[in-house]
Amino acid sequence: MRLNSLALRLFFSATTWTVVILVVTGIVLSSIYRAAVERAFDRRLGVYLRTLVADVATPEENGGKFPQSIGEPLFNLPLSGWYWQVTRLDAPTPDVRSSRSLWDATLPHLADLGPSSAPGAARQGYAEGPEGQQLRIVERTIDLGEEGRYLVAVAGDAAEIDEETRSFDGALVITFTVLGIVLLLTTTFQVRFGLAPLKRISDDLAAIRSGTAERLEGAFPVEIAPLARETNALIDANREIVTRARTHVGNLAHALKTPISVMMNEATSHSDDPLALKVREQTEIMRDQVARHLERARLAARVAAIGTVTDVLPVVTALARTMEKIHHHRSIAIDVDAPEGARFRGEQQDLEEMVGNLVDNACKWAQSRVAVEAFSEKPDPRDDRRVVRIVVDDDGPGLSPQQREQVARRGRRLDETKPGSGLGLSIVVELASLYGGGLTLGTAPIGGLRAELTLPGA
Asked if residue 388 lies in contact with residue 455, where contact means CB atoms within 8 angstroms, the answer is yes
pLDDT (0 to 100) of residue 306: 54
Task: Report the distance separating Cα 405 and Cα 16, nearest Å.
Answer: 58
Give CA torsion, residues 338, 341, 346, 350, to 10 deg: 20
Ranking 245-254, 338-347, 408-417 by mean pLDDT, the lowest is: 408-417
pLDDT score at 296: 62
Q: May I ask the CATH architecture of the domain 2-163?
A: 2-Layer Sandwich (3.30)
Question: CA-CA distance, 452 to 441, in Å (whole number)?
Answer: 6
Distance CA 40, CA 43 (A): 5
Q: Minimal CA–CA distance to 418: which of 340, 348, 366?
A: 366
Chain segment 40-54, per-residue pLDDT in tens: 999 999 999 988 888
Residue 175 has pLDDT above 90, yes or no: yes
Cβ–Cβ under 8 Å, residues 286 and 267:
no
Of the given ranges (143-147, 193-197, 345-349), which has the lowest mean pLDDT?
193-197
- HSE-up of residue 443 (Cα within 13 Å, Cβ side): 6
Residue 69 pLDDT:
60
Mean pLDDT, range 283-298, rounded to an integer: 70
Q: Does residue 306 sit in helix, strand or coil?
A: coil
In the predicted structure, residue 166 carries a pLDDT above the cut 90: yes
82-118 confidence digits (pLDDT tens) = 999 998 888 887 788 888 888 888 888 886 554 444 4
The CATH code of domain 310-456 reads: 3.30.565.10
Q: What percent of the chain has pLDDT over 90?
A: 20
Cis peptide before 67 (omega within 30 of 0): yes
